[in-house]
Structure 1
Amino acid sequence: MKRIAETIMVTFAGGLLFTWLHVPLSWMLGPLTAVLLWTALARRSLAWPEKLRNMGLALLGYSMGLSFTIESALQISTQLPSMLIATITTIVFSLIVAAWTAKQTNVSFESSAIGSIPGGLSQMVVLSEEIEGADLAVVAFMQTIRLLTVIFTVPFLAVHGLANEAVQGVAGPDGQANGSADTIISSIMAAAQAITSRPLFSVILLLCVMASVWIAVRLRFPTPYFLGPILAASLFTIAGYEPPHLPSLFIILAQWSLGIYLGLGIKLSSLGDWRKLLPYSIMGSVAIVAFSLGLSVVFSSLMPISVMTAFLGTSPGGMTEMGVTATLVGANVSLVVAYQMFRILFILFVVPYLLKWGFRRFRRNPNPDPRTGES
């Protein structure tokens, strides 16, 4: 309990500081940064219960699921080919960056490739254990740097570079960012009124959300506590019902919990010789973000999708982080989550088999004779 109390105090200070500095996603990036600095400089061990992490993910998932409508579902179905194109081109570009990083740092191409592909950090680390020649510490370090680069650069670019006007604070029920005390109180009262006016519907909705989480866990979905509530809320909205929106305070607490969880999951000391790999990992991550930005410009010129939505959908971040950013800047949250979900599922279920096949083929025939085709 003392470690949890220390975590709350440290991360609350980080959230307040980033809010005062008008940093986008202040209640996610502030606690994340506070955890990293406190554990690195003060050499203190912080803790956060997994149940609170899961509750935060469920709140964010439910809130984002409310953006799904029949129109957005139809729009997503028409953009499946573009999702596939975006995913494949991003993976190919990541492999090109990985080859360059491996050449400059002398790490194995297997480690560099798995460390550069924008999948989930934990999933890529697990995959590295199954690939011969991959260094788990290198993969964890590169994925960590990629995650940090995306989390800090993409929201900044979205808010200060692509948005029509910089939006600060936390997204409220109407999709606009507003974290003032008056707005929080009014949103809590509105949510309470919506629940008390339809108590039976609220109970059924709660049971469906809980059931969706249980099903997502049983089916081993990626981030089940986030995906389950998204699916439950989206089914209600697509069916024509109007589930109550969450108060702004709940969104702040959910982002706070997510920031703590991300900070505790990042281990910058996992690699001994990290100084040589760090600059190339940062440059590679920035290159992939820039590639996503260029890809989003092309997509927006060819399809009915804004540059903002395309950028957040194709960025090499996670569903949760990019979904929260989309809510903050008023992008099409349903499309952003759909693009991110498609890429993650493709990387989870298709890429491992392709990588294993490719690495085996590469090791079997590393330097083919151009005349005979034999090693």
Structure 2
Amino acid sequence: MKTPENQTKGKQLLEALLCGLAGGTVFSWIGLPLAWMLGPLTAVILWNLLTKRTLYWPKSFKNGGQMLLGYSMGLSFTADSAAQIAGQLPSMTVSTVLMVVFGLGIAFLASRMTGVNTPSAVMGTTPGGLSQMTMLSEEIRGADPTIVTFMQTIRMLAVTFMVPMLTTFAFAGGAGSGITASAADAEQTVSGGGLMYLLMAVIAVFAGTTLALRLRFPTPWILGPLITAAILTVSGFPAPHLPPLLMVAAQLLLGVYLGLGIRLDMLKDWRKLLPFSLVSGALMVGFALLLAYILHLIHPMSMATAFLCIAPGGLPEMGVTAHEVGADVSMVAAYQLFRVFFILFLVPLFLRFAFGRQDTAGKAVESM
């Protein structure tokens, strides 16, 4: 029996889905990169701003999209690519440290120009994940989670739009979004792979994802399938590739979720922080371009691959872009994963040493 609450959520879900489909269709028709991620993201943000209506998108949809994308990225790993990645660990370390240090420089500049305290500015500009930085800000003394969330959101939004545009039109010969030749080959692999291999791959992916959740991996819904698919591929197992329709669905599921998470009215003085957050995002992308060019000269990789390796975006967004422009997905995933683990394990130690832990007991007493 359907309750009024379930009926309301159903209508909100349908409304969000229609927004996402409309945005993806328009972006795809125009020929913009990452059409089925950026299109739904843009449509949902605009719909929220114009109508102030409440939309609903289950978190399980986002998790499902991440699983599809993680599995697809893991299939790009081979024994040869694993050897190349191992040889580039020094480059991964240096590039990640330089990006973090550059972010710190922007943070101190932001603190001086906007009046935001230094801990909030540092955590708002660090090229880490939005959710990880927001949760960490609750532990760091002096950091304001609301300011950190806003700055990270705007940075993520700027990078999510700028990097695919630059990669597609500047480094990939204007390749647009949509179904690529490699995706078409993937569809044929699915149809010819056999139901037994497909069933075994599905069981392995769910087991790998469950293990990643139990071990509390960062972004387990994408890391679990990615690592599982990589192990299957490197070991010689004929893991089936995903058809193009499922890749479009993965982008749609993630795009709508990201759009619903971006609220420009979450901060009272957002107008003061917005311009600087956009500029800082652009500066991070510009510095990533410089490092990518150096990486391109040192290692035998295309400029598109090098840029997506260094770009301060999220693993899902950079992975989808790498798929679309024909970049080395395994190398991009390796660099992005390295930065995720570096920021999650080492940056918090630095921040706690520099600013100290939040006195949660004292904070609770003050709030009483």
Give the TM-score taking structure 1 as reference length: 0.90
Work out the CA distance in 1 between the residues paired with 2:116 and 2:96: 25
Work out the CA distance in 2 between the residues paired with 1:194 and 1:245: 10
Name the SS for the 2:39 alignment partner. Answer: helix
Q: Assess if the C-alpha contact under 8 Å between 1:170 and 1:251 holds in 2.
A: no
Work out the CA distance in 2 between the residues paired with 1:11 and 1:210: 27
Q: Deviations over 1:272-303 (max 9, x none)?
A: 10111111111111001000000010111122
Match of 2:301 in 1: 305
Task: Map 1:166-245; keep pairs closer than 5 Å.
Answer: 166-172=174-180, 174-175=182-183, 190=188, 193-195=191-193, 198-245=194-241
Task: Map 1:135-146; keep pairs closer than 5 Å.
Answer: 135-146=144-155
Match of 1:290 in 2: 286
Q: Assess if the C-alpha contact under 8 Å between 1:171 and 1:327 holds in 2.
A: no
2:258 to 250, 257, 262: 262
- Give the Å deviation of 1:38: 0.7
Question: What amino acid is the match of 1:170?
Answer: G
2:347 to 337, 341, 351: 351
- Give the Å deviation of 1:238: 0.6
Match of 1:49 in 2: 58
- Give the Å deviation of 1:360: 4.4
- Give the Å deviation of 1:192: 5.2
Name the SS for the 1:243 alignment partner. Answer: coil
- Give the Å deviation of 1:97: 0.5
Q: Assess if the C-alpha contact under 8 Å between 2:197 and 2:238 holds in 1.
A: no
2:124 to 108, 115, 121: 115
Name the SS for the 2:257 alignment partner. Answer: helix
Work out the CA distance in 1 between the residues paired with 2:177 and 2:295: 29
- Give the Å deviation of 1:173: 6.9
1:82 to 84, 91, 102: 91
- Give the Å deviation of 1:143: 0.1
Q: Assess if the C-alpha contact under 8 Å between 1:155 and 1:325 holds in 2.
A: yes
Q: Deviations over 1:103-152 (max 9, x none)?
A: 00011011000000010001101111111111111101100011000000
Work out the CA distance in 2 between the residues paired with 1:136 and 1:202: 43
Q: Deviations over 1:52-88 (max 9, x none)?
A: 2211111111111111000100010001111010110
Question: What amino acid is the match of 1:331?
Answer: A
Match of 2:242 in 1: 246
- Give the Å deviation of 1:202: 2.1
Q: Assess if the C-alpha contact under 8 Å between 1:60 and 1:226 holds in 2.
A: yes
Q: Deviations over 1:204-255 (max 9, x none)?
A: 2111000000001111111111111111111111112221111101110110
Q: Assess if the C-alpha contact under 8 Å between 1:173 and 1:245 holds in 2.
A: no
Match of 1:325 in 2: 321
1:272 to 255, 268, 271: 268
Work out the CA distance in 2 between the residues paired with 1:330 and 1:224: 25
Name the SS for the 1:174 alignment partner. Answer: helix
Q: Assess if the C-alpha contact under 8 Å between 1:292 and 1:314 holds in 2.
A: yes
Structure 1 unmatched runs, 5+: 176-182, 362-375
**Residue range with higher mean Cα deviation, 7-16 or 302-311:** 302-311
